[in-house]
A and B are shown apart, each in its own frame.
Chain A
Amino acid sequence: MDDWEAIQELVKQVQNHQQWTDLGLDGAAERLEQAQDSLCRQLRPMLHKIIRRMVRSADDAEDILQEVLILVMRKLGNYDPNRAPFRYWVERVTIHEVHQHLRSQCRCREILETDLLDFLEDNEEQVSPIEREPSPDLAPDAVADRRERLHQILACARDSLDEDAYTVWHEYLINGTTQEDIALLMSRRVDWVRQTLHRARLKVAAAIVSHPAILNDEEIRTAIKRCQMSENPDDWLTEGELELLNQSLATHPRQSPGWRHTNLFRQACLKILKWVEISLLILYFPW
């Protein structure tokens, strides 16, 4: 049993003693105090090590450690062992306390990450596995079918992108994060993010359209029609783009055009992608 496993056991004991104390059992309060002392003793060196990695001043580190230990003991009732190991929970509490402490001391307020943090605080929709309740069962067949198709698209994207491009695309898709914020988050230049994301979107769009198992010909033709009927002229396909799409649909299995026209074809695929989604909704949720 390693140190963190031993601590996890102690946490369980403290929580049990807390319950017994709340129930007013004889001697429970004393046992709770003993268990808390024991937990503190075990936690202290582990947390001290973590804090010292972040804080240069030994005095500050000691102050923060005290604050963290007090906070952990006070908030231990909120910790749910079914959601995540205690280690992750207590590490996050520690990081947060160190951040708060340094932020209050730091003369320079213009730390860019704080904007992203503020955004996180405002955005209640994003729930982490640590905080998330077990997902409700998604039973309906239609939803399952749609999911299967989405999974096919994701696998397709995974195959067509390298690690960097997939990671940028992943962040963009899930959170709709701006290019500037992705650059900040990923420690990259904005230009690099802009270019990588654009290429990734083009590649994935082309991979989806070219994959016969994801979209059938009819769905693509419907998407093309809807694209051309758009109120925004920028969405319309050019003659060249339309021709490339039709050429691809004419081949069995579907083939992408030669390297000279690759970019144009990808551009066309990206244009019809938004209409493909509507096609999917029409398929499963007829209006």
Chain B
Amino acid sequence: MRDTGDTMRDTRTPLEKQLGAEMREHAEGECLSFEQMWAVAQRGHQAPDYHRVMRHIATCTACRRAYLELRAIEHMRRRESLRRMRQLLGQHLAWVPAVGVAVAAVALAWWLWTPRSTQIAQQSPILVRPEPPTTLVAPEPKGTSTTPRLANETPRAIEPPTELPRPKTPLEREIASLKKVEPFIREAVSAFTALVAADGIRSDNRSLQAPPIRLLMPDIEQNAAIADTRPTFHWQPIEQAMSYQLQIREAGSSQLLLETTLDRIQTHYGLPPAATLARGGKYELLIIASRDGEEPITLQRRFRVLSEDERKKWEWAQRHERTHPLLSAVVYYYHLDRYTDALRCLQRAQQEYPKDAQIARWLTFVEYRIRQREAEFSR
């Protein structure tokens, strides 16, 4: 204890010492967890369990020591932060006046050059502008009617900004309802909306070829990734097929992982344990249907298995399908290449918000991506 002159003297009466000795025999409550002590070390008497913590550490040496160490740690952290801030300010202080003057000049110029009478009219395009960062609404695809959307939104856009309640989109509402928005969700949202926006020039009328052999399981015909490491492959039988040859190889490599020949009635094949696919691995499936006297039909399709990290995102999306269908959809689409899952979520969201133009646009986008994926059978 510190030597502080008179205060060093123990001023307790003998009765108080006796009481103290008695109280020391009975520690108040159980020992303290890290969380409890850390809260008091950081927030002092504003911490929720403050009084109990303080009374416990009066009688428990181990907790007292840990608490004092935490207090010292907290002080060191604060001093370190202060030191860094001073360093930072010291380095960049010279720029502060210059930056301030520049910002003020730009603001003044903007204010002077903006015509007051046309301000409202100029704001309306911003509201209907389909840029993802502000409205998260992508441009309409070619060939689709834009009338319903414009009819819904144009009147709102020409209203003065002060009367606009700036209603949040369903997506923004979903984001706001999350306690913590993980970075991967933000990334998926911004990337997906940008993708949809950039997709405005494509044509829906482009003809897409159907695969010659329809794969029923797993759903790699519509999706680029699967979660299962030992999938069972199941396809529609081909008329006149004499036998099927099934090959799996690592994508971009000639090394065969598995090769088997099946007779004409066997249109499914489950991977044996020895051929378990690796998490995060990229593969190529090849099914060759041999026909009597005719050219064989070949289906070649690339797919990948979700990695551990992706699996966590997949689980997150599955958990939030009902509560946050739009966020789940963008995660499925962007991070996991699970287009049918994304479609399912968007359909769910559309049931919830039937008039939302953005969701309809996203649905069209994902449906088109699925058709594209189905046509990628020969790569």
Contact = CB atoms under 8 A, between A and B. Distances in A.
Please indicate whether A and B come from the same complex rather than being unrelated chains: yes
Interface of A: 50, 53-54, 56, 84-85, 87-88, 91-92, 94-96, 98-99, 102-103, 106, 108, 111-117, 119-120, 126-131, 135, 147, 150-151, 153-154, 157, 163-164, 166-167, 170-181, 185-188, 201, 273-274, 276-278, 280
Given A116-B68, A174-B23, A177-B1, A128 B79 contact: no
B53 to A, nearest CB: 9
B15 A280 contact: yes
B286 interface: no
Nearest to B11: A176
A173 B45 contact: no
Interface stretch (B54-62, B172-180, B218-226, B371-379): B54-62
Contacts of A154: 19, 22-23
A54 B33 contact: no
Given A95-B73, A116-B68, A180-B4, A167 B19 contact: no
B294 interface: no
A111 B60 contact: no
A84 B31 contact: yes
A188 B46 CA distance: 11
Nearest to A274: B13
A157 B15 CA distance: 13
A278 B62 contact: no
B66 A102 contact: no
A216 B54 CA distance: 34
A53 B36 CA distance: 13
Contact of B61 (A54, A113, A131, A151): A131
Contacts of B73: 54, 95, 98-99, 102
Contacts of B64: 120, 126, 128
B82 to A, nearest CB: 10
Interface residues of B, number: 54
A85 B32 CA distance: 11
A277 B22 contact: no
Given A95-B34, A103-B76, A120 B61 contact: yes
Given A120-B68, A278-B14, A173 B20 contact: yes
Interface in B37-55: 37-38, 44-45, 51, 54-55
Contact of A163 (B16, B20, B44, B51): B51
B2 A180 contact: yes
A50 to B, nearest CB: 6
B10 interface: yes
A131 B72 contact: no
A277 B18 contact: yes
A175 B58 contact: yes
Contacts of B70: 54, 95, 99
A139 to B, nearest CB: 15
Contacts of B23: 154, 170, 173-174
B253 to A, nearest CB: 34
B163 interface: no
A143 B8 CA distance: 31
B17 interface: yes
A268 to B, nearest CB: 14
Across the A-B interface, the 6 shortest Cβ-Cβ residue pairs: A187-B44, A277-B15, A173-B20, A128-B61, A274-B13, A99-B69
Contacts of B33: 87-88, 91
B66 A96 contact: yes
B66 to A, nearest CB: 5
A273 to B, nearest CB: 5
Nearest to A130: B62
Given A111-B75, A117-B69, 18 more contacts: A54-B70, A88-B33, A98-B73, A99-B69, A102-B77, A128-B60, A129-B59, A130-B31, A135-B25, A147-B22, A153-B19, A157-B19, A172-B12, A174-B23, A174-B59, A176-B12, A277-B13, A280-B18
Contact of B27 (A53, A116, A129, A274): A129
Contacts of B351: none
A157 B77 CA distance: 39
A273 B65 contact: no
Nearest to B63: A128
A273 B12 CA distance: 10
B46 to A, nearest CB: 9
